[in-house]
Structure 1
Amino acid sequence: MFKNKNKSLRPTTSKVKSAIFSLIGPEGVKNQKILDLYAGTGNLGIECLNRGAKFSVFVEKNIKTFKMLKKRLEEKKYQNSSKVFCLDAIRAVKKIEGPFDIIFADPPYDYQNISEVLSLAEKNNLFHDQSLIFYEHSKNQEPIKNIGKLSNIKSKNYGDTSITLFKLEEV
């Protein structure tokens, strides 16, 4: 069991995690390629691996949290089905190779650059026309309608948290 000693981390609650996996649908994450931006404890990417995802890429810029996440993946024997980058999200989306089937973006609630990150992810082909992009943010933040060719297809509040689901616009 992971103990959160870092008070700046805000792991995804079980209620929000349940809602996300319900939105993913009956096909689930089996054999999917996952990108967990702002990974923190890695809860979402690890849950995907537990549910049969092919590969999870984690991005965490805090060195202590990065090391803890790597250790956690080793303990779960996920070294061969995961990769962890110690980078900020903007640098990461320029470096990582996609595409990914599911992307989780759970930045700190006061983070202001999510549009830039997702625009760069689009420019660098980190998702395809069937990809799901989940953006976790404060319920007090107005949901973003569109980012580049990404459309907000659903936004829902869960306690203090809101989840916005994006997909590429259908042409």
Structure 2
Amino acid sequence: MRVIAGKVKGHRLKYVSNTRLRPTSDIIKGAIFSCLDSMELDYARVLDLYAGTGALGIEALSRGADWVDFVERDPKACEIIKDNLVHTKLSEQAHIYRSTVKKTLSFLKGKYMLILMDPPYADTTTSDILQILADSPIVGEGSVIVAEHADKKPLQSVYGCFEQIKNLNHGDTNVSIYQYTAGGQS
């Protein structure tokens, strides 16, 4: 597992062998960021939910994000994220919340332009978290959510003001990309 592009391109990232953690493959990560790059997205503030090793958020930092907040409940995974940030010299542009996603979303402030979600495939709350995000003040016009999920667990095409604009598929992995639209459902 490595950083694919940007200022720390090629850096290998640590990961923990754990059945709960399923790091995003370089192929999927490349497809996600290729799609995001084509959208000319503002990477100012990024939120990496279910961060695992931090690979998605670190990729965003490498590609020009100003700041990434990582949310991960597993203490060992949080240590891996910290090590990966130090190794890539990006720790000054990030904060790690060792907490559940739902709890962290209840106190975050400010707007995020990009939200990355890679929950465990067995997680049954992905749709609930997407709805919480849709109703949250931390998103706004132009915000994008990238939600990785199992092919066998499709997500809705609309969550509040977020409409699905792209669906990527590779093997048993699906990636749904949503964009905030002012005219969306509430």
Q: TM-score surpassing 0.5? A: yes
Deviation digits for residues 20-49 of structure 1, max 9, x if unmatched? 011112465665211100000000100111
Deviation digits for residues 100-151 of structure 1, max 9, x if unmatched? 1111111011211122222222333222211110010011112322222221
In structure 2, the residue matched to 1:33 is: 45
Matched to 1:134, the amino acid is: V
Matched to 1:40, the amino acid is: G
Q: 1:146 pairs with 128, 135, 158, which one?
A: 158
Structural mapping, 1:49-128, within 5 Å: 49-128=61-140
1:63 deviation in Å? 1.0
Given that 1:143 and 1:155 are in contact with CA atoms closer than 8 Å, whether structure 2 keeps it comes out as no
- The answer to which structure has the higher strand fraction is 1
Given that 1:36 and 1:44 are in contact with CA atoms closer than 8 Å, whether structure 2 keeps it comes out as yes
Moved more, 153-162 or 25-34: 25-34
Matched to 1:103, the amino acid is: I
In structure 2, the residue matched to 1:134 is: 146
SS in 2 for 1:128: coil
SS in 1 for 2:141: strand
Q: Identity across aligned pairs (percent)? A: 30
Distance change in 2, residues 1:57/1:155 (3 Å): same
Matched to 2:160, the amino acid is: G
Given that 1:66 and 1:86 are in contact with CA atoms closer than 8 Å, whether structure 2 keeps it comes out as yes
SS in 1 for 2:146: strand
Q: Distance in 1 between matches of 2:41 and 2:87?
A: 21
Q: Distance in 2 between matches of 1:70 and 1:156?
A: 29
Given that 2:15 and 2:80 are in contact with CA atoms closer than 8 Å, whether structure 1 keeps it comes out as no
Q: Distance in 2 between matches of 1:29 and 1:54?
A: 13
Distance change in 2, residues 1:4/1:77 (3 Å): same
Matched to 1:106, the amino acid is: D
Matched to 1:60, the amino acid is: E
Given that 2:161 and 2:181 are in contact with CA atoms closer than 8 Å, whether structure 1 keeps it comes out as yes
**Cα RMSD (Å) of the superposition?**
1.8
Structural mapping, 1:10-21, within 5 Å: 10-21=22-33
SS in 1 for 2:113: strand
Moved more, 24-33 or 127-136: 24-33
Q: Distance in 2 between matches of 1:29 and 1:62?
A: 30
Distance change in 2, residues 1:96/1:145 (3 Å): same
